[in-house]
Amino acid sequence: MRIAFQGEPGAYSEAAALRFSDHADLLPCEAFEDVFAAVASGKATHGILPVENSIGGTIHRNYDLLLENDLPIVGEVTLPITHNLMALPGTSLKEVRRILSHPQALAQCERFLRGMSGVSVEATYDTAGSAKLVKEHKLTDAAAIASERAAKVFGLEILRAEIQDYSDNITRFLLISRTGETGDHVDKTSVVFSLPNEPGSLFKALSVFALRDIDLTKIESRPIRGRPWEYLFYVDIPIGRHDLRCARALVHLAEFARSMRTLGSYPSWKSRESAVARQGA
């Protein structure tokens, strides 16, 4: 298994990939688009993408890319996130005039950053990439927000540990591949659909799940490009698409949805953890 991820070594996506498979071969990519390209071309068997954080919310770009690419979701990982402020060895906190990190990490450390007077905040392409910039450019006035592993990889010193706003900071990642998952272990399905702009259309769409006692674990709307004020709806349901209830709900939804696509049916992280625990028992 070779998993492509966005970022430098030490990125949280790398940690999520290793949490999914601790013996996987890893392929760093500069951008999320490159992760999809690596999987589509066969350079990697899988790609891993952050899609939502319990503090910062949704990473919208990756929802758009899931729709733009025909690569099914085959798994998920949840990863506790701990942010650390790091700088070149010997740098003191009072010397820091710039803080670099990915926009999501900056949003997750907002309270800490508000307490840093006289310091500018700069968004970068990656948390670990920020640590790399500080190291390679010898930025004596700058610090990065990244993982503990990133500090070790790039030889930086942690000035403040665990600076995220909330301790229960968790990011959910999705795994993509060229072929979908099958089997009894599949217990989660992600679907995207659009609806006619008519009264009650969303109510009708959601009722196909409610009538069959199917829960919705997530619903997210995204604008349809080129069609102002019209939206796509991304839905996660905790049931495999080969389950009869799920199959019937999706057939029912297709009757009045303008468009519909199943992005993947896959094992939830909870079910994967349980399976691993049973194997180790």
Catalytic residue among 112, 171, 189, 193: 171
Cα angle at 75 between 70 and 80, to 5 degrees?
A: 125
**Rounded Cα–Cα distance for residues 6 and 17 (Å):** 11
Catalytic residue among 112, 173, 193, 209: 173
- How is 143-175 classified by DSSP, letter by letter? EEEE-HHHHHHTT-EEEES--SS-S--EEEEEE
Instruction: Assess contact for 217 and 237: CB atoms under 8 A.
Output: yes
Known active-site residue 171: yes
- Of the CA atoms within 13 Å of residue 122, those in its CB half-sphere come to 17
Question: What's the length of the chain?
Answer: 281
- In SS3 terms, 219-272 reads as EEEEECCCCCCCEEEEEEECCCCCCHHHHHHHHHHHCCCCEEEEEEEECCHHHH
Maximum Cα interatomic distance, the chain, rounded to a whole number of Å: 65
Name which of 24, 51, 33 is nearest 172 in CA terms: 51
What's phi and psi for 131, nearest 5 deg? Answer: -60, -40
**Rounded Cα–Cα distance for residues 241 and 235 (Å):** 13
Name which of 76, 150, 160 is nearest 116 in CA terms: 160
Number of H helices, E strands in the chain: 10, 15
Q: Is 268 helix (H, G, I), strand (E, B) or coil?
A: coil
Q: Is 260 helix (H, G, I), strand (E, B) or coil?
A: strand
Amino acid at residue number 42? G
State the catalytic residues. Answer: 171, 173
